[in-house]
Amino acid sequence: MLIVLLGPPAAGKGTQAERLSEYLGTPHISAGDILRRSIKDKTPLGNAALLYINKGEFVPDEIITAAIKERLAQKDCVEGALLDGFPRTIPQAEALRLPDKVIDIDVPRGVLLKRITGRRVCQSCNKVFHVDSMTGYGCDCGGNLYIREDDTEEVFAARADNYNRLTLPLKDYYAKLGRLTVVDGTGSKNEVFERILEVLENEH
């Protein structure tokens, strides 16, 4: 089963995809992780993508689509995958095979901004924290925490505007194809996870 998680920046797509991946035994493919790894390794993809990401802009369709298709072609994705952060535009969706289910995680803009500006990431293991729930100043693995360059109010505003302009049309696109379900993304991570599971279980 191919599942796509939609939602604005900081809606919790990555968090829920990781949990779903473990629960379903399906690979989690994060467009953001692929790009950040490429940037860290200074690959041609990473160098090209960095120019757009630091300005809060979407990476051009042809760059990210090629990377996602290459990942989906690997053996562990034969029976399905969870896509997080892709597709983000209708051309990307048209280049992808039709998902079995598209889940849109809906969160108000004010909640998203608070999540982003309070987010901290471990330099060693990439675990994500939030200042409101942190009990210390570092990660359990011993790594230091940092603020991602794109986790600022200014970049969030640009990303949110791009999302509204380019990605929101995907909701209508997938709704017309009978694949879209909207899930309330507020509340605890467990509450959101249970809502998503209910959607998936109702399909069987």
Alpha-carbon span 2 to 179, nearest angstrom: 11
Tell me whether the omega of the peptide bond preceding residue 27 falls within 30 degrees of 0, making it cis.
no
Query: Under a CB-based contact definition with an 8 Å cutoff, are residues 126 and 37 in contact?
Result: no
Dump strand ranges (E) for 46-100. Answer: 81-84
36 is catalytic: no
Assess whether 179 carries a catalytic annotation.
Answer: no
Tell me which of 36, 88, 115, 120 is the catalytic residue. 88
Catalytic residue among 13, 36, 115, 120: 13
Question: Which of 101, 119, 171, 195 is labelled catalytic?
Answer: 119
Please tell me which residue in 37, 101, 114, 148 is annotated as part of the active site. Answer: 148
| Known catalytic residue at 13 | yes
Q: Could you tell me the end-to-end alpha-carbon distance of the chain, in angstroms, rounded to an integer?
A: 12
Active-site residue identified among 36, 71, 120, 159: 159
71 is catalytic: no
Place of tokens 């694949």: 179
CA atoms within 13 A on the CB side of 19: 15
Q: Is 88 a catalytic residue?
A: yes
Report, as residue numbers or ranges, the catalytic residues.
Answer: 13, 88, 119, 148, 159
